[in-house]
Structure 1
């Protein structure tokens, strides 16, 4: 019996073609497929399924897989959901509070202590909706690391640069809320966050956990 095109395509797939993301119970797998198809061409999505509260995709080429991971995530139901490779190929690690003037050679020794680095560091866009502002980057970056004896972790390390020490936070969970710890949103958009006073920006800043702030804070200044 001659193999069908779909069978031939499936036979060529490996774990390197797979990516995954968190899947909300209230949304269908089709909603996630539609979102992924906006990042890569619809024809690049070969297979998809819900597995243990995750949406798992197999894409047509490794180039499409790299594009999906470098994109950072997909927007599903108005929520940003991080995308990462499936286990065994490394875990996406997100760095926050990382000022743009810190060079890679300063970070690499600290990152190598977490595991084996499998990708270059890529910068994460700020996410402005205004087309004229979409080029603006955030103080976040990401890379893929094969972690040592674990699949997830979070913490921080300090980097000295020009007589100042900066605390850089890292997490394998991608974009998540430092308040309620749920994935898919940040503190300022968290349903549990207190409503900020209209005329009291100081109290608003005080309500935000230090790790969630986008302001770069030297480690020496933190309480």
Structure 2
């Protein structure tokens, strides 16, 4: 019985370095072949197969001060066994106004090869005599309260404790420091230093 039924081979071509490239009918056929066989024999010689497009996972890094060089973080990630598909980049803060579209976040992303081990929740980086804790998460929705995958914190059913006042009295009246802040008019602008 053939490893791949002929009807599932759409294209085949010899390419450089004595390699063969084949396009199969769909991802399911590719996954079945790679899982069950992963290689073929041609004239008694075993040829190992690899995917034309290697699956990659998006790794998001948060809380990383922008002054920390990418290379320093990449070295730490390599030390824990990650290999990279694309370069590390800063993420934008995702504002809709075009005049702010250039602003970057402290968050970064990098695409990594999928691995069979768990990515740690955080890594510690020392840079310019300061220690930084950078948090790592694969691009899957994870609740930061209960750590359940596929759930947002806003929908979390876990009970959390809050320091939010339960009284209906305005917050400014409960905090003497806030009482000293002058009320702002609607047309005031924020000045950043």
Question: Structure 1 or 2: larger helix share?
Answer: 1
Report which of the two structures shows the higher radius of gyration computed on alpha carbons: 2
